[in-house]
Structures are given as C-alpha cells and as structure tokens.
Amino acid sequence: MTEIPEHLLKRAKERREALGGSEVVPASQVAPASAESIQPVPSTAIAKQPVTPSAPVGALPPRPDPAYVVAAKTRKKIPFWAMATLSLLPLWAFIYLLALRPQEKTVEGPLAVGAGLYGACAGCHGADGQGGAGRVLYQGEVLKTFPKIEDMLNFVYSGSQAFATQGLAIYGNPDRPGGAHAPLSYNGNPMPQQGAKVGGGLTDSQILGVVCHERYTISGADPTSTEWSKEYDRWCAPTSEIYAALVAGTTSFDTLAETFKGLHDPPVAVGTTPRLSGS
C-alpha cells in the first residue's frame, strides 16, 4: 500500500482548518479501494457518445465577393447568335459606304482611249500639258497651233522630222498668234512620228484618241460651244462614225475622205504624208 506524503496531509489539514472542516483521517486508517469496487467504463459506451464538432477558436466568417465579382457573376451573357451577327458588321459597313459613294462618270470613245495613251506623251509634254522637252499643250496652245483637227492628226502621225525632210518650213496654222511653228524649232527637239506605218507605235484610231484628249481635255476646247461642237461630234464623240470606222479598219487616214465623201459636209483628208495646213 502506498502512503500519502506528510507534506500533502499537512497542506490538506491547513486547508480544512481555514474552511472550518473536520479532523483529518490518517492515511493509515483509510481503507484502500479493492479491485472489485472499481467498475471499468465499457469502451463501447465511450464510442457511442456523440461528438459535437465545435468551430475553431478565432475563425472568421467568409468574406463577401467584391462588387466587380458579383457583377460578373450576375451579368447576362451575350447569346451565341449575337457574336455571328457582330462579326458581319464590317461587311455591312463596307456595303453601306459603297452605296453612298457617288458613281464615277464613265468616259467612252476616243477621249477614254486618248486619256489612257497620253501617259507616253507626258514625259515630254508634262502630265497636264505644261510642257518640258516638248511644247506646251494646255491653256489653248494646241488650238492656236492646230485650229483644224485634220492638220494636227497629220503632224502627229508623221512627226516633225518628216516635215523638215519634205522641206516644209512650218506646220499647223500659218497665221498662229505669236508666229507659226517650224519643224525642229523647239530647242531642236523633234516631235517623234506616231503612225504605225512610219515607225511609230499607234494605230490611226489611237492617234485620233490622243489628239482628242489633248484638244478637249488638256487644251480646253468646249465640245458644247458653237466653235467646237461640230468637230467634236464628228471626230471625238463616243458616237463618232469616223472613230468607229478607224477602229474597225474599214478606213484609214489615207482613205478617210473617200470613205465619207457621201456626207453632206465630208471631212477634210488627213493623209499620212506631211503637208501644209489645208492642202
């Protein structure tokens, strides 16, 4: 049997006396508990007792979502068909702009052909006819030199060197304001021949187109005026019978006068041999 230490008994006695308790029973008089008097607690009883979980000490409640997260979760989603519709907006915008774009006026006939071919002439005469290695063509200069389109066609076809070779002292209008032009008189630069039959690269119909462009677009002849309307209708209009015949090859500068001699006012012959104005 185990004895209780004296110092523990003394401390217990002092405690009872302070509380007004009864006398301490000596440890030798306390009967020890027998093994039979101690009833063990069944393990099954301990296991069957419900265990109530408790929240951790100091745990905080979950924080609410920020406003932008809540907005993202509650925002209505775009329907799938709307994305396909939105992808077509650039195409619709392009079609709309095309519908608003004004239609460009289409120029047909000799003027359209001449505008396309004049680029080869611009190197000498300037893109707007302002001159350079070749003579000035704009602001009516062409019309002063060639009041008659037939004379200009003949000169462009043959070239200035051919006039000099033929011994012709001038070309175009002999009464030109400021004096008639002589072959090779512009800084000694010749006007190259353009006719295909004399070494140039243009057909008769193409030469007519270039000349019409230089007269009516660059030099400024008014096709609606009384001075130029007759020439325009006959030679440079989209409905020109002369131009159509040159394109078809049913006539040429050499045979043109014969082809159209049945007209009330037949055109003056052009020809491909250098000649003086009106001859």
Backbone phi and psi for residue 236, each to the nearest 5 degrees, phi listed first? -115, -5
Place of tokens 């008659």: 148
What is the number of other CB atoms lying within 10 angstroms of the CB of residue 209? 26
Residue 95 lies in a domain: no
Residue 6 lies in a domain: no
Residue 71 lies in a domain: no
Q: How many domains does the chain have?
A: 1
Q: How far is CA 161 from CA 157, 166, 169, in A?
A: 11, 9, 11
Residue 83 lies in a domain: no
What is the domain extent for residue 189?
A: 110-259
Residue 31 lies in a domain: no
For position 185, which CATH number holds?
1.10.760
In tens, the pLDDT along 40-88 reads 545 555 445 555 555 565 567 787 878 777 777 777 766 666 666 767 7
Cβ(269)–Cβ(257) below 8 Å = yes
d(CA 169, CA 149) in angstroms, rounded, equals: 20
In order along its 279 residues, the chain shows pLDDT tens digits of: 566 777 777 777 777 777 765 554 555 554 554 545 445 545 555 445 555 555 565 567 787 878 777 777 777 766 666 666 767 777 767 777 777 766 555 557 999 999 999 999 999 999 999 999 999 999 999 999 999 999 999 999 999 999 999 999 999 999 999 999 999 988 888 999 999 999 999 999 999 999 999 999 999 999 999 999 999 999 999 999 999 999 999 999 999 989 988 777 777 789 999 999 877
Residue 167 lies in a domain: yes
pTM given for the model: 0.62
Residue 115 lies in a domain: yes
CA-nearest of 222, 237, 274, 277 to 110 is 237
Residue 80 lies in a domain: no
